[in-house]
């Protein structure tokens, strides 16, 4: 018998939450290209319909689904109409950058609803259905560098992303007996619409050159292959992990010294 393609998602249904742009869209495209029936979920139906149609025009399986993860009623309504989902990729999120002492209660509530609470309850619903079907499943969270280390001016965002890394470990421990693998991807300095203004500053690029071994910004497409792998049969013995895709930021640094 030939070895199974570790990246093949043929015959699987993937729900990608936060799929209208950036990292979520890149992952949705990757899953569709790997053969999954891919449900692109987000608030922006215009963008979702356009992207789903583009995938279908290439002969891939894709559809759009409206959902606002910051609205618990929206999450509940979506969970009730979902088909059998084999892969759940939780990518939706937002950020507010400011000193911790200046955050308001409203900003705190918005970040927790969007980045954590909605994903928690959606995962509960989708995971419960996976358990009931007794056919296993894959769950992927998108964390951040703040899942594994501290950075200034993103404290509330970091609370949510640290919680997702913790939930990854806890659900992996609890749902492993149901053949459900749960993992988290921690992106590094990935250029997206959400942080483009930050990276327009030349001093940021000068700093990055010394901060990691690969002296360039990452792209959303740099994350998609790992997400596909963690969704496929090649990752059946990998669970509870937070894996950084960060150009070496969490493990390396560069300095100007060169040996004589």
pLDDT, one tens digit per residue, over 44-90 is: 999 999 999 999 999 999 999 999 999 999 999 999 999 999 999 99
DSSP 8-state code for residue 5 = P
Length of the chain: 260
Q: Out of 108, 153, 157, 237, which one is annotated catalytic?
A: 157
Active site residue 153: no
Q: Where are the alpha helices (DSSP H) in 83-223?
A: 105-112, 118-133, 155-175, 202-211
User: Is there a contact between 115 and 123 (Cβ–Cβ < 8 Å)?
Assistant: no
pLDDT band (50, 70, 90) for residue 3: low
Helix (H) or strand (E) holding 89: strand 87-90
- Does the pTM surpass 0.85? The reply is yes
**What is the predicted pLDDT for the residue at 143?**
97
- Mean of per-residue pLDDT scores for the chain: 95
């Amino acid at each position: 018998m030939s070895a199974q393609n570790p990246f093949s998602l043929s015959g699987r249904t993937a729900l990608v939450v936060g799929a209208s742009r950036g990292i979520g869209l890149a992952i949705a495209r990757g899953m569709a290209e790997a053969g999954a029936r891919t449900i692109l979920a987000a608030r922006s139906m215009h963008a979702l319909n356009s992207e789903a149609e583009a995938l279908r025009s290439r002969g891939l399986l894709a559809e759009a689904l409206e959902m606002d993860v910051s609205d618990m009623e929206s999450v509940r309504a979506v969970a009730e109409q979902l088909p059998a989902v084999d892969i759940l990729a939780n990518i939706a999120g937002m950020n507010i950058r400011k000193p911790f002492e200046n955050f308001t209660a409203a900003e705190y509530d918005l970040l927790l609803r969007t980045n954590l609470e909605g994903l928690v309850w959606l995962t509960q619903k989708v995971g419960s259905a996976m358990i009931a079907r007794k056919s296993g499943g894959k769950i992927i969270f998108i964390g951040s560098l703040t899942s594994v280390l501290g950075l200034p001016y993103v404290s509330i965002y970091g609370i949510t992303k640290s919680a997702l890394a913790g939930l990854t470990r806890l659900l992996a421990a609890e749902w492993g007996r149901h053949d459900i693998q749960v993992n988290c991807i921690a992106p590094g300095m990935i250029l997206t619409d959400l942080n483009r203004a930050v990276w327009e500053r030349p001093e940021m690029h000068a700093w990055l050159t010394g901060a990691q071994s690969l002296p360039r910004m990452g792209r959303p497409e740099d994350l998609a292959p790992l997400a596909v792998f963690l969704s496929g049969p090649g990752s059946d013995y990998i669970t509870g992990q937070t894996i950084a895709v960060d150009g070496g930021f969490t493990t390396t640094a560069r300095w100007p010294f060169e040996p004589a």
